[in-house]
Amino acid sequence: MNDLFTVSNQVAVVTGAGSGIGRASALALSQSGASVVCGDIDTRNAEITKSLIVDGGGRALSVSVDVSKREQVGALIDMAIEEFGTLDIMCNIAGIMHQSTVLETQDSDLDRVLDVNLKGVFYGCQIAASEMSKRRSGSIINMVSSAIDAPAPGIVCYAMAKAAVAQLTKTLAIEMGKYNVRVNAVAPGFVVTAMTSRHFQLDDGSVDPERREAVVTSMGKMAPLRRVGEPEDIAGAVVYLASNAASFVTGQIIRVNGGVSMQ
């Protein structure tokens, strides 16, 4: 049974590896045996994730990448193949939040969120799938959100992009099945990361501990499991989808959210 859940000798690319869910996923994949290419637009944070992996005895590289640029995503994947010889696991985790209602949304906001959260994932999927189909093996994992199920006011750009990624995931899963390439997504509920810290940050960017406690408590109460998520909760689903334990799983959106929404 143990072998089912390892990704030993596999090569993973993780975008958004410099923070939150991406960092936890990169570390978890490494701890489960993979060599990991840590991509992030924040070069310093990607390097920290790489160091955490290497200091723990794993193999990793860090690469500066803006996922909204096709050629940079291509270079990221090329780097994995050059340095580690192949690409087995592609995790499209990088993402940004933008808050505005439909009426407030500017074209520039819409473009920026769709460029990173949708086109960035599309490039990662397309380039990785092309490589993996040649090798007749691979697992692509996209990060969507509870926002695909539960519309919330003020995050329209984000929710539209995530819903589109869910459909991209299913479409690509159908197209890639014959090549033994699996394509799935994880839809996290509320997870405490840099992205969600906006709910309890003061104007100067520092965290208000009382507001943090209030937000975490109220968000946690919405879940049957009575808590919010930690990045490691999501990383567990990523490792599962990457591993042989999920060898018959494709085109699925796994909702890791404490039970907040059930489909």
Ligand X SMILES: NC(=O)c1ccc[n+]([C@@H]2O[C@H](COP(=O)([O-])OP(=O)(O)OC[C@H]3O[C@@H](n4cnc5c(N)ncnc54)[C@H](O)[C@@H]3O)[C@@H](O)[C@H]2O)c1
Q: Which residue bears the tokens 């590896």?
A: 17
Report the residue from 10, 11, 15, 156 that binds ligand X according to the rule CB under 6 A: 15
Per residue, what are the HEC states of the chain? CHHHHCCCCCEEEEECCCCHHHHHHHHHHHHCCCEEEEEECCHHHHHHHHHHHHHCCCCEEEEECCCCCHHHHHHHHHHHHHHHCCCCEEEECCCCCCCECCCCCCHHHHHHHHHHHHHHHHHHHHHHHHHHHHHCCEEEEEECCHHHCCCCCCEHHHHHHHHHHHHHHHHHHHHHHHHCEEEEEEEECCECCCCHHHHHECCCCCECHHHHHHHHHHHHHCCCCCCCECHHHHHHHHHHHHCHHHCCCCCCEEEECCCCCCC
Cα dihedral 217, 165, 118, 137 sign: positive
CA–CA dist 152, 131 (Å, integer): 37
Residue numbers annotated as active site: 158
Looking at the Cβ atoms of 84 and 190, the one nearer to ligand X is 190
Report the residue from 36, 67, 148, 237 that binds ligand X according to the rule CB under 6 A: 67
Report the residue from 13, 40, 62, 88 that binds ligand X according to the rule CB under 6 A: 40
Minimal distance, residue 128 CB to ligand X, in Å: 15
Minimal distance, residue 152 CB to ligand X, in Å: 11
Report the residue from 7, 14, 20, 114 that binds ligand X according to the rule CB under 6 A: 20
Report the residue from 6, 31, 66, 154 that binds ligand X according to the rule CB under 6 A: 66
Site string for ligand X, 140-179 (x = CB under 6 A): ---x-x----------------------------------
CA–CA dist 260, 220 (Å, integer): 9
Minimal distance, residue 243 CB to ligand X, in Å: 20
Site string for ligand X, 101-140 (x = CB under 6 A): ---------------x---x--------------------
CA–CA dist 190, 253 (Å, integer): 16
Report the residue from 7, 12, 14, 21 that binds ligand X according to the rule CB under 6 A: 21
Site string for ligand X, 190-229 (x = CB under 6 A): xx-xxxx---------------------------------
14 scored as a contact of ligand X (CB under 6 A): no
Which listed range, 62-70, 201-209, 238-246, 247-255, lies at the site for ligand X (CB under 6 A)?
62-70
Which listed range, 5-13, 26-34, 92-100, 123-131, lies at the site for ligand X (CB under 6 A)?
92-100
Report the residue from 48, 77, 94, 242 that binds ligand X according to the rule CB under 6 A: 94
Cα dihedral 217, 222, 227, 231 sign: negative
Residues in contact with ligand X by CB under 6 A are: 15-16, 18-22, 40-42, 45, 65-68, 93-96, 116, 120, 143, 145, 188, 190-191, 193-196
